[in-house]
Amino acid sequence: MRFVTWLLTYAAGLAVAAQLLAGIYFDGPAEGQAELQEKFLPLLVVALILGLVSTFVEPVVKLLSLPFIILTLGFLLLVINALMLMLTAWLADGFDLGFHVDGFWNALVGSLIITVVGWGVRIALPSRD
């Protein structure tokens, strides 16, 4: 159950970012039932890729850049998150999933949206205490 929650949290963040930003998008129809049918599975796979990148790659990058993170008072974390989203788009392109991030600034804003939506979803879900 924890894996499903984790996957759906990333998927919700990606869906909101793709809806709000023109520079983050999935290939395919732009509205209606056809959009839902054609984009649902790629959305879940991209969410899985983003989750794996965030689990395995991001901690290594953060550890190696720790002095610079401290020097920039944590603002470098925004850049790292944007780069992880761009890496996810690159990997998704390799799997021909039709997920695209156009440029660094879209990735930066998109990573902020994904973070805020993920935070909101985790707050809305009941805790397992």
Domain residue ranges of the chain, discontinuous segments joined by +: 2-124
Give me the percent of the chain exceeding a pLDDT of 70.
97
State how far the Cα of 30 lies from the Cα of 94, in Å rounded to an integer.
22
| The pLDDT value given to residue 125 | 78
| The pLDDT value given to residue 6 | 85
State how far the Cα of 111 lies from the Cα of 123, in Å rounded to an integer.
18
Segment 55-60 shows an average pLDDT of: 94
The rounded mean pLDDT for the chain is: 90
pLDDT at 129 over 70: no
Confidence at 28, pLDDT banded by 50, 70, 90: confident
| The pLDDT value given to residue 38 | 79
State how far the Cα of 8 lies from the Cα of 2, in Å rounded to an integer.
10
Confidence at 64, pLDDT banded by 50, 70, 90: very high
User: Considering the entire predicted model, what is its pTM?
Assistant: 0.89
Q: What count of Cα atoms within 13 Å lies in the side-chain half-sphere of residue 36?
A: 2
